[in-house]
Amino acid sequence: MTDNTTQQMSLLALGLTAQAGRNPDITGLSVDSREVKDGHLFFALPGAQVHGGAFIQYALRMGAAAVLTDAQGAEIAAEELAASDAALILTEDPRGALAQTASLWFGAHPDTVIAVTGTNGKTSVSTFARQIWVEMEQAAVNLGTTGVEGVWTHPLKHTTPEPITLHRALAAARAEGVSHVAMEASSHGLDQRRLDGVMLSAAGFSNFTQDHLDYHKTFEAYFDAKMGLFTRLLPEDGAAVINIDDPKGAEVVALCEERGIEVITVGRHPDARLHLHAQRFDATGQQILFDWQRGRFSARLNLIGGFQADNVLLAAGLCIASGSDAEEVFDTLPYLTTVRGRMQHAATRKNGGSVFVDYAHTPDAVATALQAMRPHVMGKLVAIVGAGGDRDAGKRPLMGAAAAEHADVVFVTDDNPRSEDPATIRAAVMEGAPEATEVGDRAESILRGVDALGPGDALLIAGKGHETGQTIGDDVLPFDDVEQASVAVSALDGDLI
């Protein structure tokens, strides 16, 4: 699908050669047969559920002028293809071809694009990179879970959009004058070649822990998908910025060095080139000391959570790796602001008890977020945790266990049960947190969590972050943790502080 209905391109201009059929001009690109229009090139992709070859017959009926698929897709639709004069383009890697074709169809993207991968921290790192650039007066956006944000905004359904949406958004960003983009590379996106065709200046690695095993099946396959960013997408003249505090960091460095890619290591590890030397916490943020090229620097971060300093330095490293001046980058750090739904202060009770909302939805993130709150909290730490339906089921008891280990009081509640039975999901989380209180209704659990706060206590509402809905079955009911925290405080204390 394209926005510009008058655009036409030959197969040749799109870098494609037809094995059979005529040689038409293409009027648009589609991956879904239901969206095909007259003259479109339909990509029949091997899917997780079904092969897109099964939909070639419908795409042809909708007027597709060309079909790109693999041998299996062509076999499924052999009869329909033989009876049609549509061009047939065969390739072993239709998803890669889709990405390359979408990049040619939509044209140039902003000059500087960086991408970050890792289980946790992608949205945070890409948002900080965008904030750094904007402070340096560059026209910048970040692109990922929270949509396109920055000097130009645009909603997105996926963390790494499929190539047609991605290249359309990148080309539109360029047309709006955007010069710098920081994007998230999700493991699904990498595995499905969604970002192939994007010319990266630099790529970052935050960390590697459990998530998405429902899709990737094994840790090895999950890691390999992520490594595609460094082994396939990042050009040899690009630079990699790698957190070497993560146990997998050294492996990522080795993969980059094998290709002769310049590496900037980041972390608390003494060997890190951008080295976090010390951190001191207070009620509203932290002071950090760090080293770069034999110089020592200090900065005040108005951000809660020790791990945010790791994310900030990774973002700073990516800006430096893609051409910004290091000292100018460091000067922006005191101006960075909380990323929506990440350790976001949501409300304070009259007695001083405070409420934070965080997007922790993996075992490691739950542990990290709760540990990060400790130095800022004098009293007890209360956690509300739940796990999503139709997602990695193995992480559920581990998320419960992380909450039980790092909080003093735990409530287990619902977080987007989707097609699954919410009680079954909660039971799995409770396996890891047998002492926790189970309160299925999320609003009620927030009310109970806020009610449990005394002076000096804090509540972490984990899992939904910036989300504004609770997905139950196919319905998305409006739900916002930040809003519910305020509602609970005003219900209990009479008015808001």
Ligand X SMILES: Nc1ncnc2c1ncn2[C@@H]1O[C@H](COP(=O)(O)OP(=O)(O)OP(=O)(O)O)[C@@H](O)[C@H]1O
Ligand Y SMILES: CC(=O)N[C@H]1[C@@H](OP(=O)(O)OP(=O)(O)OC[C@H]2O[C@@H](n3ccc(=O)[nH]c3=O)[C@H](O)[C@@H]2O)O[C@H](CO)[C@@H](O)[C@@H]1O[C@H](C)C(=O)N[C@@H](C)C(=O)N[C@H](CCC(=O)O)C(=O)O
Ligand Z SMILES: N[C@H](CCC[C@H](N)C(=O)O)C(=O)O
178, exposed or middle or buried, with CB in 10 Å at 0-12, 13-18, 19+?
Answer: buried
Tokens representing residue 389 in the block: 């339906």
Q: How far apart are CA 479 and CA 288, in angstroms?
A: 35
Query: Which of Mg ion, ligand X, ligand Z, none interacts with 464 (beta carbon under 5 to 8 A by kind)?
Result: ligand Z
Does 28 contact ligand Z by CB under 6 A?
Answer: no
Closer CB to ligand Y, 166 or 439, in the complex: 166
Secondary structure class of 173 (helix, strand, coil):
helix
Burial 341-360 (b: 16+ CB within 10 A, else e): bbbbebbbbeeebbbbbbbb
- CB-based contacts of 181: which residues, under 8 Å, 6+ apart? 109, 110, 112, 113, 114, 140, 141, 142, 143, 170, 173
Identity of the residue, 144 or 417, whose beta carbon is nearer to Mg ion in the bound complex: 144
C-alpha 187/C-alpha 178 separation (Å) is 26
Residue (of 355, 324, 298) closest to 489 by Cα position: 355
Nearer residue to ligand Z within complex by CB, 26 or 229: 229
Cβ nearer to ligand X, comparing 360 with 488: 360
Contacts of residue 237, Cβ cutoff 8 Å, sequence gap at least 6: none
Q: Does 165 bind ligand Y (CB under 6 A)?
A: no
> Binding ligand Y by CB under 6 A: which of 6, 48, 155, 477?
48
For residues 148 to 187, the per-residue mask of contacts with Mg ion, x marking binding by CB under 5 A and - elsewhere, is: -----------x----------------------------
Tokens standing for 184?
């998230």
Determine if 158 is a binding residue for ligand Y (CB under 6 A). yes
Q: Which is nearer to ligand Y, 115 or 141 (CB)?
A: 115
**Of 492, 495, 418, which is closest to residue 459 (Cα–Cα)?**
492
122 binds Mg ion (CB under 5 A): yes
Of 180 and 464, the one with the shorter C-beta distance to ligand Z is 464
417 binds ligand Z (CB under 6 A): no
Query: Residue 340: which of 44, 127, 39 has the closest Cα?
Result: 127
What's the closest the beta carbon of residue 47 comes to ligand Z, in angstroms?
18
Binding string, residues 18-47; x marks residues near ligand Y by CB under 6 A:
-------------xxxx----------x-x
Give yes or no for residue 388 binding ligand Z (CB under 6 A).
Answer: yes
Select 80 or 245, whichever has its Cβ closest to ligand X.
245
Per-residue mark of binding to ligand Z, 324-363 (x: CB under 6 A): -------------------------------------x--
Where do we find the tokens 């965008």?
Answer: 130
Contact between 139 and 174 (Cβ < 8 Å): no
**Cross-strand partners of 266:** 243, 274
Q: CB of 188: closest distance to ligand Z in angstroms? A: 9
Residue 299 CB partners (closer than 8 Å, separation 6+):
287, 288, 290, 330, 333, 334
Complex with ligand Z: residue 149 or 467, whichever CB lies closer: 467
Binding to ligand Z (CB under 6 A) within 438-477 occurs at: 463-464, 467
Contact of 265 with 287, CB cutoff 8 Å: no
Q: Which does 388 bind (CB under 5 to 8 A by kind): Mg ion, ligand X, ligand Z, none?
A: ligand Z
User: Site residues (CB under 6 A) for ligand Y?
Assistant: 31-34, 45, 47-50, 52, 55, 158-160, 162, 186, 188-189, 192, 215
Binding-site ranges for ligand Z (CB under 6 A):
159, 361, 388, 391, 415-416, 463-464, 467
Q: Which residues are annotated as a binding site?
A: 33, 118-124, 159-160, 186, 192, 194, 391, 415-418, 463, 467
Q: Which residues bind Mg ion (CB under 5 A)?
A: 122-123, 144-145, 159
